[in-house]
Amino acid sequence: MADSLMTELARPTTGSIRRRRRFLRATIVVVFVFYALITLIPFYFLIVRSFVPTKKTTELWLLPPPAEEVDLDAKLGGLATFLNLDIQQFKARFGIPPEEFVKPQWSLRRIGEEYGIPEEELRDYLNPFIRYAGWFVLLSDELFVPALVRSLVLTVAGIVGRNILGILTGTALAGLRYRYQRAIHGAYMLMLVIPPLLVLLPQYVMVQSALALIPNYEVMGGLTRQAAQILAVLVFYLSPTPLSTMLFTAFISSIPSELEDAAKIDGASRWQYLFYIQGPLMRIPVASMTVISIPGIWNDFLHPFLYMDNSATTILPLINTYLGTFSSNYQVIYAGVFISILPLLIVYLSFRRWFIQGAMAGAIKG
């Protein structure tokens, strides 16, 4: 596609046009550099700021601040707030019975003396919290990796499902010759104008009522509950969208009917034609659909937020739980946000040609 665009714009060059070309080329470089800066700087600072502890956040840090040693004279309470310490885990680590109330105004040194914990051990335990700040808390949160896994599962299942269902629908609607085809196509297109918030509340009522009907759903943390919630969210991703309908219907309509006629002459049933002949041709719309769905599903916040429990959700709602009304540990949040973006960035940069093609395909069809 790049070459066709280039040849489209090729013109015979005279002096003034060559000068204009050079000016445009210079503009492009300037725009490129400027845009690169404003795009890459936020990513850079996201990492840097995830190392800036709460008490230093009002200062400008162009590089991560130097790591400090834990101050044994610091009070436990203050330290716990700054470092997002889980006091139960702290107690478990040092063999303090969980019912014992450890006074937050005591210094670490005093706690060490009181419970017979050598200073070295206190230091070893607490230093990583300070040095790696948000990252340590994030990765030691036992909900973190499962959340990532759930995001991955939903994304993969969603992409596979969307493509399969999109192909089925597109095959049935191809050509748009008959009234029922046009009616259904039109109905799916109507979703472009339906504000999602109009149906959001009724959908919520319906889905939650339906989920409540499932036996064992009420058991919090139960496997049925988790599976049901994942399926509920998945259902939203599989429903027809204007884009998927347009993409597949248009593409399949463009396949010459001679192909199916030839297959029929050779004695193939429609299903054989669809599976063996049309199927392999679907690589292009499938690529576009996949590439558009990856960020669409992975970055979806609303549906997991509404339908999945906080203790068993995907990565973005999990980061949302770190947001408190009074104080939030932004180091953890920034670390989490960066990790939520990283997989997408890697996939995007590895397959950027597909992403660009998919983006233009989506735009042109729209």
Residue 136 found at the interface with other proteins (CB under 8 A): no
Span interacting with other proteins, options 80-88, 120-128, 135-143, 338-346, rule CB under 8 A: 338-346
Q: Residue 5 Cβ, how far from other proteins at the closest point, in Å?
A: 4
Residue 35 found at the interface with other proteins (CB under 8 A): yes
Distance separating alpha carbons of residues 276 and 199, to the nearest angstrom: 39
Span interacting with other proteins, options 106-114, 120-128, 131-139, 333-341, rule CB under 8 A: 333-341
Nearest by Cα to 71 from 57, 82, 86: 82
Distance separating alpha carbons of residues 62 and 226, to the nearest angstrom: 42
355 token code pair: 């992403």
92 versus 262: smaller Cβ distance to other proteins? 262
State which of positions 221-240 bind other proteins (CB under 8 A).
Answer: 235-236, 238-240
Residue 302 found at the interface with other proteins (CB under 8 A): yes
Residue 270 found at the interface with other proteins (CB under 8 A): yes
Q: Which CA distances in Å does 300 have to 33, 81, 304? A: 31, 30, 7
How far separated are the first and last CA of the chain, in Å rounded?
A: 18
Residue 287 found at the interface with other proteins (CB under 8 A): no
State which of positions 45-64 bind other proteins (CB under 8 A).
Answer: 45-46, 49, 57-60
Residue 9 found at the interface with other proteins (CB under 8 A): yes
9 versus 265: smaller Cβ distance to other proteins? 9
Q: Determine the size of the site formed for other proteins (CB under 8 A).
A: 97
Residue 101 found at the interface with other proteins (CB under 8 A): no
Distance separating alpha carbons of residues 314 and 144, to the nearest angstrom: 9
Nearest by Cα to 296 from 204, 362, 211: 362
Distance separating alpha carbons of residues 260 and 134, to the nearest angstrom: 58
Distance separating alpha carbons of residues 20 and 17, to the nearest angstrom: 5
Site for other proteins (CB under 8 A): which residue of 289, 316, 329, 332? 316
The alpha-carbon radius of gyration of the chain (Å, integer) is 28
DSSP code string of 50-71: TTS-GGGTTS--SSPPPP----
Residue 206 found at the interface with other proteins (CB under 8 A): yes
Residue 36 found at the interface with other proteins (CB under 8 A): yes
Residue 363 found at the interface with other proteins (CB under 8 A): yes
Site for other proteins (CB under 8 A): which residue of 1, 149, 219, 231? 1
State which of positions 148-187 bind other proteins (CB under 8 A).
Answer: 165-166, 168-169, 171-173, 178, 180-181, 184, 187
Nearest by Cα to 91 from 78, 80, 105, 75: 80
